[in-house]
Structure formats: structure tokens, C-alpha cells
Amino acid sequence: MNIRHKTILPWLLVSPYIIHLLVFVAFPILFSLVLTFNKWNIISPMEYIGLSNYSRILHDRQFWKAVGNTLIFLSIHIPLQIIVAISLAEILNQKIKLRPFFRGAFFLPVIVSGVVVSILWQQLLGFDTGIFNRMLTSIGLGRIGWLIDPNWAMPSIAIMATWKNVGLYIVLFLVGLQTVPKAYYEAADIEGATKWQKFWHITLPMINPTIFMVVILSTIGGFSLFIEPYVMTGGGPLNSTLSAVLYIYKQAFFYYHMGYSATLGIFFAMIILFVIIIQKKFIEK
Amino acid sequence: MCIKLILLSLFLSGICVFASSCSKNQKNDGELLFWSSNNLPEIEFAQDMIETWNASNSPHINFQPVPEGQSSEEMILAAVVAKTTPDIYANMRQGDVEFYAESHVLIPLDTLDGFLEFMYARCDSSVMDEIRSADGHTYQVPWKINPIIVLYNQDYYDELGVVDYPRTYSAYLSLAEKFKKDMDGDGYVDRWFGNTESNVLWYQRFFNFIPLYYAASGGSPLIENNKAAFNNEAAVKVFTFLQTLYKNQYFPIERLAARRDPFLYGDIATKWTGPWDVPFIQKFKPDLNFNAHPMPVPDDYIGVSHTYADPKSIVIFKYSSNPQKAWDFLQQFLSIENDFKFFSLSKQFPRRKDLLTDSIFVNYLKRNPQLAPFAKQAKYTHGISDTPYMKEILALISQEYEACVVYGKKEPRQAIQDAAQAVDLLYLNLSQ
């Protein structure tokens, strides 16, 4: 009896996690894989269609446009995020006045709902009444179609996403900066190194693991770009902010093409995996 | 050890009990469940109707507004999947009914006793034709409409010297040219003649392209025999008209969500909308002098201006324990007295053929002149073609709408042709 208890109890204790894993991870993944070979609108019975969903992806110009848009977003968002986060972390690592306040203030947008932030920025970036354009016209410059000009819309969203997420990466970089031994800087001081040389030759190499982590997290976060275009632009203008996840969402929940959207989701996950492997090869040292 | 096991078992069984209680409908055996929209006047009306029914009828009906979610459509879909639908749902978009009908989750109402007699007494035969599904059955009760027409600021029209409302595109554009203005002298127009959502989302076309298309074509359908039926001169004229509005800055390109209500605050003179805006304006800007007129039509168009009805229907789900009783309740729910009660509470129009002839409505409209133009329009309104692919079709039209109308990247004729081709291709792919 005692031995049986000893065998059952650990299973019971880990059962919440196992149930969670089976219900919310394993089952959805397996079900998605099944869906990729079927046509299903949720309420009608599934219809087996073989590899049609996969072949459809190859000819779906909107999906590839959405993937391209997501890559444009990443190419702006990741460098911007890293530069801003490292710069602010470096400043917040110094002994400046109100340091705890600034650390808290920069982290604040991270914990605010993405929808709230998106609505707020939609107002700020408004063409006719937005405060940014009012500032531009007040100093004699022309207005910018932040969200209505196809050339500006994605960069605007990338800037906004950077503002929203940078606080988290500042914290990560702060942790990284605080692990750099002070002795290295003291030695560099004795050698007469400038601030820039110290940053370039000591700080950056020492925080390389943090940079790698930030790049990976930003990439995964960037690939899942959804709330901002969904709330601010709906994917427009002229599909310039249609992200891959927004497109997958539309296929699933606007048109109920569950099989196709599951195929897109799995295909897109493979793209992310591929990009992460490449990043790992080139960034991690 | 035993105590730990008992606590764990209690915890797990608690979760099971909670989950099972959540999955149950809020009704006892034999009772019916009615879901309304979340709109307050509709909740008040439905509660009143159900209390009256329950006082002297059985089975009893339980009421609840559609559960909160991202959209009522999503909640209905979730309920259908979980087989926890209400017996009756009042507020389904007419265009969505075919999707559920094709999936066999709705009761064909024409198989219920007294349905057809009741409906033909209430609605025009054209309405009954419009709501009949592809399989020949009728799955919905056409309950209410909100005709989309032009709401205008009377003071601005007086300022412009408007005697007769701008019936044609050229009259509308001419007023727009006179009205647009750079109020603060920064080189940008900040007073426009109107505003309509430029967003590419499919349902936004219900409030610009579709009403104008019905107006320009005398109510021609968008889809016929599983093919695009809008590849015609009327649609080209609508796109040309809309493109001019943006090109000449008569309408702003910015999304409506990015600003305060421009009609309420006098930034625009006209707004294409439904009667729901009347009580809204009366509540939030009681001193605003406004009225409404039909949608503009092409200059060479002869006849009455038609428009989109924004129709909402009532359906009975197949999981209902007693569809005939549900229909008996709906007959009482849809009586002329109750339709009037609903109308006066919500300012939404019951889809009845006697809206302009029965004294109960006529007298009310006399006392509420701002609703009268919507009522006059009611006879010339149309729903949307019955197809389960309406969202995809409107999304395809929206793509061309944005490229041509909003950004001027395509010629109207080419854009309409491309939209029609894309719709035909959609049907071709779906039929394979």
C-alpha cells in the first residue's frame, strides 16, 4: 500500500502539468497537423483534401506578401530595439538621479495591454488630428501619413512596437551589464581606453549571450506581430502592414478556413525555426 | 498522506463540477432559451416579451444576452461547435444565415406550422424571396433593418444654400467642393464634406460601396448563380464617385477610430449611416440640427435611390427541444404592437411592409421627423446575396476598393473587373 502510494503520489502531483501539456500543447499541435490535410469550417464535418492546403500556400501571393511585411518589420524592429535597449540600459546602469523611477517608467509599457497601447498610438499617429503631425506642422514641416501611407505604416508600427517592448530588453541588458567584471574596465582605464573602446571591446563581447537572447526573443516576438496591425491598420494601407499572423488569423476567424490556416501556421513556424537556426549560427559565439 | 490525497481529489472534482456547470445552458428540461444582442434597448425589449409570455404560456422561456466575447458572431459559432446554442437567437446578420444553414444547424422555419402565412402577412414577397436559401428552405425571420442613408448637418446645408438635397453624384460633389476648407490655415483640409471608413476590413463595405452600389443599380444583387454580378457600369460609376471624394479631399483618408466623432463635432457635413445614429446624436449633441436623405445616385440614373438594409434576422437552432413552441413565441414577439414597442425603444426598424401605412408607425414618425427619411427608405432596401462566402467576396472587393478608391492606384473599371474576376475564381476554387 505504502509503495503504491509512493508511485501514485508523484504522478498526482505532476498531473496538473501533464494535463496542461496534453490538453493545451500536445493535442492542439496534433490536431493542427490533422487539420492541414482537411478542409473544415468548424461546424461542418471535416473533408479530407490531401496536400491541397500545402500546394495552395505556394500560390498564395497574399501570404508571401504578409511574410515579406513581417520581415520588413523585423529588419526595422530588431536593430532599433537592440540599439535603444543597450543605450538605455547603459545609461540606467550609471549612478544617475531617479534611477529606480526611470527603470520603472521604461518597463511600464511592457505591462500595459497591447490593445490599449495600440489605440493610444493610433491617436498619436493620426494624420489629421494626431499630436505628432500637429508638432510637425507647428514647426513648419509637412504632415506624415504615419498609418495611411504604405511606405510609412510598417516603420510606424515598428517604432511603436519598440516603445512597447524595449523595457523588457532594458532589464535583460541591465542584468547582462551587471555581470561584466569591473576589473576589466579598471584595466582598460589604466591602458587609457576611451569610453567607446571600453564599450566596444569589453561590454559588447561580455554581453553577447544577452544580445543573442534578445535577438531570439525579439525575432519570435516580431514574427508574432498581430495586435498592432489588427488594431491600428487592419493590415492596410494596401496590405503594407498585413503580418503573417494577422493573415493566418483572418483565414481562421474571418473566413473559417481552419485547415488552411493550420497549414499556414505550421509552415510559418517552420520559417521561424529556420530563421532562429541561422541567427544561432551567426550571432551566438 | 491520506489527507493530501483527499484534498487533491476534492480540488480535481471541484474543477470538474465547475467545468460541467459552465457547459450547461441556463435552462431546465423542456424550457427554451432566448439570446438577444448586448444592446441595452434590445435586452429591455426581450426581457419584457419573455416576461409576458411566461405569465400565461408554457414552456417557460429563459433569457440571456449573447455572452460577452470579441464579437457576437464568434460567440454564436462557439455555441454551435459546443452544441450549447440557445433555442432562439435574435440578431443574426442576414448574410451569416446561409453559412449556418449550409452546415445544417438551423431549423428550416418554413416546415413549422403557420410560418409562411405569418411571414407573407408581415413582409413583402420580395423580402421572402431574398431570404430563401439555396436549398429552397427559409431559415430566418427577417426581423429588423437599419437603412444606410445620408445623415446631414442642416446648418451646413443652409450655409451652402441647399434647397433640394443632392440627389446625384455631381450635385453631391459640387457641394463637397464648396464645403471643404482649411480652417486653421496650415495648408491641409480639416473640414470635409463627409467621412466613411477607409479600412480594408470586409464589413466596412456595408457602409459605403454596397449602399452606393444598390443606389446606382436599383438594388441589383452582387452575386448571381455563383458568379460576380457586379461587373457593370453601376459599380464602375460608384468606384469613380468614391475615388473622386478621396482624390479631391472631400473625404479624409484617416480611419474613423483615430479621431473623435467628426459628425458630432462639425468636422464633416454628411455621414453615411443607419438610424442608430439618431438617438446617439440626440443624446450626446441635442442641439445639433440634422436630418437625412437618400444615398446619391449617378447623374443618368432614373428612379428611386435604393440602399443596403443592414438586416438582422431571428433563427431557431436545430438543438432546440421544441422548435414549434419557439415559433409560437416568435409570433407573439413579432406582433405589430411588439414591433412598435421595439421600434420606439431601439429606433431600429422592424422589417414589415406596413411601416409607412399603419397609423401606429405613421403617428410615431410624425413626432420623430429625423427617423422619417429612414422609414421612407425602408421599402427600397436590400440585404446581401445569400452565399456562405460573403466575407471572402467582400474582402476581395475591399482589396480593390482600397487600391482604387482610397489610394487611386487603379482605374475604377479595371478595379471592378479585377474584383469580379477574383470572386469568380473564388467560386471556381471552392467548387473543386
In this structure, the answer to whether residues B257 and B339 fall within a common structural domain is no
Tally of domains within chain A: 1
Residue A5 phi/psi, 5° resolution? -60, -45
pLDDT tens by residue, B388-400 = 888 899 999 999 9
Q: Between chains, do B188 and A143 touch, taking CB under 8 Å as contact?
A: yes
In this structure, the answer to whether residues B237 and B140 fall within a common structural domain is no
* A247 in a structural domain: yes
Q: What percent of chain A has pLDDT over 70?
A: 98
In this structure, the answer to whether residues B130 and B141 fall within a common structural domain is yes
* A237 chain-B contacts, CB cut-off 8 A: 200, 402, 406-407
State how far the Cα of A269 lies from the Cα of A280, in Å rounded to an integer: 16
| Cell matching residue B260 | 473623435
Q: Between chains, do A122 and B102 touch, taking CB under 8 Å as contact?
A: no
Confidence of residue A285 (pLDDT cuts 50, 70, 90): low
pTM of this prediction? Answer: 0.85
Query: How many residues comprise chain A?
Result: 285
Virtual CA dihedral for A110, A112, A114, A118, nearest 10 degrees?
A: -110
Tally of domains within chain B: 2
In this structure, the answer to whether residues B190 and B298 fall within a common structural domain is yes
Mean pLDDT taken over chain B = 89
User: Does the pLDDT of residue B12 top 50, yes or no?
Assistant: no
* B16 in a structural domain: no
Q: Which residue would you say has higher pLDDT here, B326 or A129?
A: B326
Distance to chain A for B199, nearest Cα, Å: 7
Residue B87 burial class via C-beta count within 10 angstroms: exposed 0-12, middle 13-18, buried 19 and up: buried
- B182 in contact with chain A, both atoms CB, cutoff 8 A: no
pLDDT tens by residue, B70-123 = 778 888 988 998 889 999 999 999 888 988 998 899 999 999 999 999 999 999
* Residue A143 per-residue DSSP state: P
pLDDT at position B5 is 46
Interface with A, mutate which of B402, B406, B426 (most A CBs under 10 A): B402
**CATH code at B55?**
3.40.190.10
The parent domain of residue B102 ranges over: 26-146+310-382
Residue B69 phi/psi, 5° resolution? -165, -170
* A36 in a structural domain: no
Q: Closest chain A residue to B74 measured between Cα atoms?
A: A253
Residue B312 phi/psi, 5° resolution? -125, 145
- A137 in contact with chain B, both atoms CB, cutoff 8 A: yes
pLDDT at position B430 is 72
* A225 in a structural domain: yes
* A246 in a structural domain: yes
User: Does the pLDDT of residue B11 top 50, yes or no?
Assistant: no
User: Does the pLDDT of residue B300 top 50, yes or no?
Assistant: yes
* B406 chain-A contacts, CB cut-off 8 A: 237
User: Does the pLDDT of residue B2 top 70, yes or no?
Assistant: no
pLDDT tens by residue, A173-191 = 999 999 999 999 999 999 9
Alpha helices, H only, chain A: 2-20, 27-35, 52-59, 61-93, 99-111, 114-124, 131-138, 150-178, 182-191, 195-198, 204-206, 208-223, 227-232, 244-249, 258-283
State how far the Cα of B88 lies from the Cα of B36, in Å rounded to an integer: 9
pLDDT tens by residue, A19-41 = 999 999 999 999 999 999 999 98
The parent domain of residue A75 ranges over: 60-114+155-283
In this structure, the answer to whether residues B291 and B426 fall within a common structural domain is yes
Residues 164-193 of A with CB under 8 A from B: none
pLDDT tens by residue, A41-71 = 888 889 999 999 999 999 899 999 999 999 9
| Cell matching residue A167 | 523595457
For chain B, first and last CA: distance in Å?
Answer: 62
* B12 in a structural domain: no
Residue B111 phi/psi, 5° resolution? -90, -5
Q: Which H helix or E strand runs over A42? A: none
pLDDT tens by residue, A71-83 = 999 999 999 999 9
Sign of CA dihedral B398, A44, B81, B119: positive
* A203 in a structural domain: yes
State how far the Cα of B368 lies from the Cα of B286, in Å rounded to an integer: 14
User: Does the pLDDT of residue B305 top 90, yes or no?
Assistant: yes
User: Does the pLDDT of residue B375 top 80, yes or no?
Assistant: yes
In this structure, the answer to whether residues B198 and B262 fall within a common structural domain is yes
Q: Which residue would you say has higher pLDDT here, B1 or B34?
A: B34
- CB B291 within 8 Å of CB B154: yes
User: Does the pLDDT of residue B1 top 80, yes or no?
Assistant: no
pLDDT at position B216 is 97
State how far the Cα of B378 lies from the Cα of B354, in Å rounded to an integer: 10
User: Does the pLDDT of residue B4 top 80, yes or no?
Assistant: no
pLDDT at position B22 is 43
In this structure, the answer to whether residues B85 and B161 fall within a common structural domain is no
Pick from A5-14, A32-41, B333-342: least confident: A5-14
Segment B355-368 mean pLDDT? 93
**CATH code at A77?**
1.10.3720.10
Residue among B414, B429, B386 at smallest CA distance from B134: B386
Mean pLDDT taken over chain A = 91
